Amino acid sequence: MSRRVLTGADIEAVPAGELVVPPGTIVTDRAREIALARGVAIRVDESAATSGATSAKPAGPRVVALGADHGGFDLKEVLKRHLSDWGYEVRDFGTDSSKAVDYPDFALAVAQAVARGEAWRGIVVDTVGIGSAMVANKVRGIRAALCYDRATARSSREHNDANVLTLGARMLRPEDAREITRVWLDTEFAGGRHQERVDKIAAIEKSK
């Protein structure tokens, strides 16, 4: 049986706390570097071998970074209530009203919070969601996905290990945005062949 390889992408997908891995797991140098920066302790445990997977034990409630421009303000407020009801700790990066602002400022703040390990995942809402996705994906370690239905939300997590979700307030009904967000948060990364592809994304970032 091949040994598990713990990569930087694996560490980026978990909040600060403890990551339990089975004996024989190969931990890459990049994974150790990111774990140190994020405050993630890597612990080897025999019991993890029976499950065949690593398990993350958060230090506390999972933190979701949330942001929006004026076009996404109302939907952000709706999602904030849902996130709290679902048991997440929300860090709201603004904006605080429907007064016109620039979406790059808020998308960047959310993406940086996730990249630094201050938030487990991030959600950004603007009028259509495209601009915020472009901004977030400029931040190293971020894989932002613009999702417009349950299928894209699920795929972005299962296949791409997206850690930032962007939504278009004008494109979605609030109830649809709620369902997309719930599916996106609940869906686990599938790993396997998809991990190799996510690693290639990280390699492209390193080559710049």
Tell how strand 17-21 and strand 55-58 pair up. Answer: antiparallel
% of the chain beyond a pLDDT of 90: 62
Enter the pTM of the model. 0.73
pLDDT per residue over 49-98, tens digit each?
544 444 444 445 689 999 999 999 999 999 999 999 998 999 999 999 99
Selecting among 70, 82, 159, 194, the annotated active-site residue is: 159
| Choice between 16 and 192, residue whose per-residue pLDDT is larger | 192
pLDDT score of 27 more than 70: yes
Residue 135 has what pLDDT?
98
* Residue 123 region by backbone torsions, left for phi larger than 0, else alpha for psi between -120 and 50, else beta: beta
Lowest-confidence region among 21-30, 54-63, 79-88, 169-178: 54-63
Residue 53 has what pLDDT?
47
Inter-residue contact 92 to 135 (CB < 8 Å): no
Catalytic site residue 82?
no
**Residue ranges per domain, the chain?**
5-59, 63-186
Q: Which CATH architecture has domain 63-186?
A: 3-Layer(aba) Sandwich (3.40)
DSSP-derived secondary structure for 20-84: EE-TTPEEPHHHHHHHHHHTEEEEE-THHHHHTS-EEEESSSPEEEEEE-GGGHHHHHHHHHHHH
pLDDT score of 13 more than 80: no
% of the chain beyond a pLDDT of 70: 87
pLDDT score of 149 more than 60: yes
Q: Residue 126's beta-bridge partner residues?
A: 168
Longest dimension (CA), the chain: 58
Give the mean pLDDT of the chain: 87
Residue 57 has what pLDDT?
45
